[in-house]
Amino acid sequence: MRQTTIAKKVHNVGIGLHKGEPIRLTLEPLEAGSGIVFYRSDLGVSFKAEPKNVINTQMATVVGNEKGYISTIEHLMSAINAYGIDNIRIIVDANEIPVMDGSSASFCMLLDEAGVRELDANKKALIIKRAVEIREGDKLVRLSPSKSPKFDYTIKFSHPLIGTQHHVFEFSKKAYLKEISRARTFGFLKDVQALRSMGLALGGSLENAVVIDENKILNPEGLRFENEFVRHKILDAIGDLALVGAPILGDYTAFAGSHDLNHKLTLAVLADAKNFELVDLTAEVVREYQKVFA
């Protein structure tokens, strides 16, 4: 199985969640072995999508260094992961990826427009060899060996419209497009008001998030899925885990996970070579994990 990139350069413009300003997004093909590279055109600075370049996980996953940063990368990274794209350059002219509709569906459409092209190099995958878990209080995230990788996620909120939600997603591009890509980010009205008082979430609206007050969903169209909240958490996790730089062949389990716990999990996995094996995706390996590449 070969490494991939996109077939052609594509553009889009969207609103930044926090500043509320238009952001131009461009996706460009890259050569084999380049990985996923973010570029701030307004600063002339690049950041590779790697766990070591993550500098903040408080409200989103942020990559950068002392020269600059790019925030809210997880939804785009999620789509790139689902499409199996190994090498791509992501260009923005601001400090965040546009929020689009709060899901990854718009990024999937952009990747469909770009197309996928094979390169003359073997694709690699990261096979989980032993379980690695990060636990903080009652919160946990875990990667464990599996022949049919899946995302098993549980969330628990005191809000009556969310409560406890659980979803199991068997990973494949086809299933991702149907079950996960349209799930939107969500927030509570009181939190949005607090963030705006600090000059954040200025681009947030009912067009790009599910917003909940004390007893109802404010979006007139309602939810896209009965359990859209937990599905979006899976979308985020798929994007966060993509920072390891190769498809992960293993089960992901989470209870009340977060960007921060996902980041700590990627660091923990890569910290010990006994946790994983980086392999070329030969025909034999692809057959063994055939559901992933459906």
Structure confidence by residue, pLDDT tens digits, 140-179? 999 999 988 999 999 999 999 999 999 999 999 999 999 9
pLDDT mean over 183-195: 85
How many separate helices (H) and strands (E) can be counted in the chain?
Answer: 7, 20
* Residue 236 is labelled as binding a ligand: yes
What structural domains does the chain harbor? Answer: 2-122 (3.30.230.20), 125-292 (3.30.1700.10)
* Residue 232 is labelled as binding a ligand: yes
287 has pLDDT over 90? no
Separation between Cα atoms, residue 165 and residue 142, nearest integer Å? 18
Residue 203: the pLDDT is: 78
Among residues 18, 167, 259, 263, the one annotated as catalytic is 259
Instruction: Quickly state the pLDDT bin for 96 (edges 50, 70, 90).
Output: very high
Give percent of the chain with pLDDT exceeding 70: 98
For residue 263, the 8-state DSSP code is H
Question: Is 11 part of the annotated catalytic residue set?
Answer: no
* Residue 263 is labelled as binding a ligand: no
Total count of residues recorded for the chain = 294
Express each pLDDT in 56-78 by its tens digit: 999 899 999 999 999 999 999 99
Concatenating the DSSP letter of every residue in 121-168 gives EE-EEEEE-S-EEEEETTEEEEEE--SS-EEEEEEE-SSTTTSEEEEE
pLDDT mean over 203-212: 88
21 has pLDDT over 90? no
